[in-house]
């Protein structure tokens, strides 16, 4: 089944003034989240008692033009950008997805992966629900549809009580936007506001580009409802005292390593500062005799900076990166990934020729980039190529955020059972060093954050450690 969640970007915006249109805020905010998914983009707004939507395959700038934004009038709305690692993307799966509650439409967008969708989907179909998409997101919509005896909020909570897995959600029901974070706090979701406008988004950068102060991360297990006349009521996802609910318990550590923009903040901590600290600790754990530190841009840049500052080895951006080629890892097709890699990097020969080069990158998943970069540097005359990675070996598939269970056989660290020497040989570098898991967690905690609450055991690192906090099942979809 094609997943509807994965590593996606969410936004929800409400303006207090009913005559204000929020389409430009949704558009700009969504664009700032483009790195979280470029397969499709969608915006739905509500105003004047009606919904307006535009949802297409493609990047935000391709899907939305000026005339589209003026057509998307309304003072409340939600948006979504989507990514998946495998399988065909198709137009009917583009989010937000429409649902029906008591004969009234609502819209839902999802970041995460549900792990019990097959049984719930079968159940809903047996009860007569006609699915128009193959996403797990629509399973939540179907469960809300069958809860029409409740009010909308309770129908949502009842639906959430049936699902398992990870999710951050935004829902649009008439002029109200609901932001929801699951009780493990695995997927990010933040809230920002200034007088007259409120924003819910996957990353604080969406607030920044809109000039709206980022107030806080959503607490794990919380629903925030924002309406034109209300500053944002809070409700627990499940019954019980708000005060007794846990704070974010298993936040995806890969958000700090790779997913999020360096200028984003989670738990009050700046991603860029955490990445720099990873680089410092990487040098302490895995030093190397080198003449120059070269980052694999863009995601390896700040770790390389930290590595360079700590070691005293100068850093040069000697691998020019074309910004007209997007993040290759988030391309779903291998063939396209390899072509993308070829036109993405160009080494500056005079900066590396005859030198011992320490290349720093954030992670190795399939090793497509690592092999290509090594090849290019050697061709440019590098005397030695030493690879340093600011996270541990990516050995285990992710079932919660990025669907890597679909490419499990391609994970280089899994294929070599974590044997660093074998991985080194396959990539073809002179030496290879990874940051340890303890070093990664410490790097984040060493960065001071205003009001930060995440502690050592509050991170999901299953893709590095194999410690899954939500049960996963043999068939990958998580069905029992
Ligand atoms: S398994 Fe890895 S990528 Fe997936 S949610 Fe956990 S830390 Fe993030």
Q: Residue 207 annotated as binding?
A: no
Cα radius of gyration rounded to whole Å, the chain: 22
Query: For residues 83 and 136, what is the distance between their CA atoms, to the nearest angstrom?
Result: 14
Same domain for 282 and 188: no
Looking at the chain, the whole-number percentage of residues with pLDDT higher than 70 is: 89
347-370: per-residue pLDDT in tens?
A: 999 999 999 999 999 999 999 889
**Interval between CA 263 and ligand 1 midpoint (Å):** 20
**Interval between CA 401 and ligand 1 midpoint (Å):** 6
Q: Which residues line ligand 1 (CB under 6 A)?
A: 186, 252-254, 398, 400-402, 460-463
Q: Is residue 257 part of a domain?
A: no
Q: What are the beta bridge partners of residue 361? A: 389
Query: For residues 282 and 303, what is the distance between their CA atoms, to the nearest angstrom?
Result: 8
126-142: per-residue pLDDT in tens?
A: 999 999 998 889 999 99
Same domain for 299 and 224: no
Nearest residue by C-alpha to atom 2 in ligand 1: 463
CB distance 394 to 401 below 8 Å:
no
Read off the pLDDT of each residue in 280-305 and give the average, rounded to a whole number: 97
Domain total in the chain = 2
Same domain for 327 and 275: yes
Same domain for 171 and 30: yes
**pLDDT value of residue 368:** 87
More confident residue, 330 or 114: 114
90 belongs to the catalytic site: no
Same domain for 417 and 311: yes
Confidence of residue 332 (pLDDT cuts 50, 70, 90): low
Q: Is residue 317 part of a domain?
A: yes
DSSP per-residue letters across 183-229:
TT--S--EEEEETTEEEEESSHHHHHHHT--EEEEPPTTEEEEEETT
Same domain for 410 and 282: yes
The domain of 429 spans 269-465
Least confident of 21-35, 79-93, 393-407, 450-464: 79-93
Q: Is residue 263 part of a domain?
A: no
Q: Is residue 476 part of a domain?
A: no
- 480 CB neighbour count, 10 Å cutoff: 11
Is residue 477's pLDDT more than 90?
Answer: no
More confident residue, 382 or 338: 382
Read off the pLDDT of each residue in 169-183 and give the average, rounded to a whole number: 96
Looking at 218, 249, 280, which one is the last position of a domain? 249
CB distance 265 to 212 below 8 Å:
no
Tell me the two tokens of residue 125. 């179909």
Confidence of residue 388 (pLDDT cuts 50, 70, 90): very high
Q: Residue 398 annotated as binding?
A: yes
**pLDDT value of residue 243:** 38
In eight-state DSSP terms, residue 235 is: E
Looking at 220, 249, 278, which one is the last position of a domain? 249
**pLDDT value of residue 336:** 61
């Amino acid at each position: 089944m094609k997943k509807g969640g994965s590593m996606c970007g969410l936004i929800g915006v409400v303006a207090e003034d009913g005559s204000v249109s929020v389409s430009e805020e949704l558009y700009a905010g969504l664009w700032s989240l483009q790195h979280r998914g470029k397969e499709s983009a969608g915006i739905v707004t509500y105003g004047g008692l009606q919904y307006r939507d535009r949802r297409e395959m493609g990047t935000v700038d391709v899907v939305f033009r000026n005339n589209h934004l003026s057509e998307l009038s309304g003072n409340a709305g939600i948006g979504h950008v989507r990514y998946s690692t495998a399988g065909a993307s198709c137009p009917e799966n583009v989010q937000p997805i429409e649902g029906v509650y008591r004969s009234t439409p609502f819209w839902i967008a999802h970041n995460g992966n549900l792990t019990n969708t097959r049984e719930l989907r079968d159940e809903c179909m047996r009860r007569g629900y006609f699915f128009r998409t193959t996403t797990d997101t629509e399973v939540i919509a179907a469960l809300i549809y069958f809860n029409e005896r409740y009010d909308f909020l309770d129908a949502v909570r009842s639906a959430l009580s049936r699902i398992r897995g990870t999710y951050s959600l935004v829902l649009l029901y008439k002029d109200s936007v609901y932001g929801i974070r699951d009780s493990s706090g695995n997927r990010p979701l933040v809230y920002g506001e200034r007088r007259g406008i409120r924003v819910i988004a996957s990353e604080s950068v969406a607030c920044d580009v809109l000039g709206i102060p980022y107030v806080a991360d959503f607490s794990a297990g919380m629903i925030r409802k924002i309406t034109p006349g209300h500053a944002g009521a809070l409700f627990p996802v499940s019954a019980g005292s708000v005060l007794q609910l846990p704070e974010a318990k298993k936040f995806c550590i890969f958000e700090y390593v790779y997913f999020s923009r360096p200028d984003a903040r989670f738990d009050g901590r700046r991603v860029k500062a955490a990445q720099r600290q990873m680089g410092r600790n990487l040098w302490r754990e895995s030093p190397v005799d080198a003449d120059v530190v070269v980052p694999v841009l863009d995601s390896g840049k700040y770790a390389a900076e930290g590595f360079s500052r700590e070691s005293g080895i100068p850093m040069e951006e000697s691998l020019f990166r074309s910004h007209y080629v997007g993040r290759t890892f988030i391309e779903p097709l291998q063939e396209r990934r390899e072509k993308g890699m070829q036109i993405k990097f160009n080494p500056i020969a005079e900066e590396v020729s005859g030198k011992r080069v320490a290349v720093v990158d954030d992670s190795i998943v399939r090793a497509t980039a690592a092999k290509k970069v090594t090849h290019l540097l050697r061709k440019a005359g590098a005397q030695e190529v030493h690879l340093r990675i600011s996270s541990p070996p990516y050995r285990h598939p992710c079932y919660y955020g990025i669907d890597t269970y679909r490419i499990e056989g391609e994970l280089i660290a899994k294929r070599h059972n974590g044997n660093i020497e074998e991985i080194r040989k396959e990539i073809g570098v002179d030496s290879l060093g990874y940051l340890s898991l303890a070093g990664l967690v410490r790097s984040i905690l060493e960065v001071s954050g205003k009001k930060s609450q995440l502690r050592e055991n509050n991170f999901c690192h299953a893709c590095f450690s194999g410690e899954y906090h939500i049960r996963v099942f043999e068939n990958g979809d998580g069905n029992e």
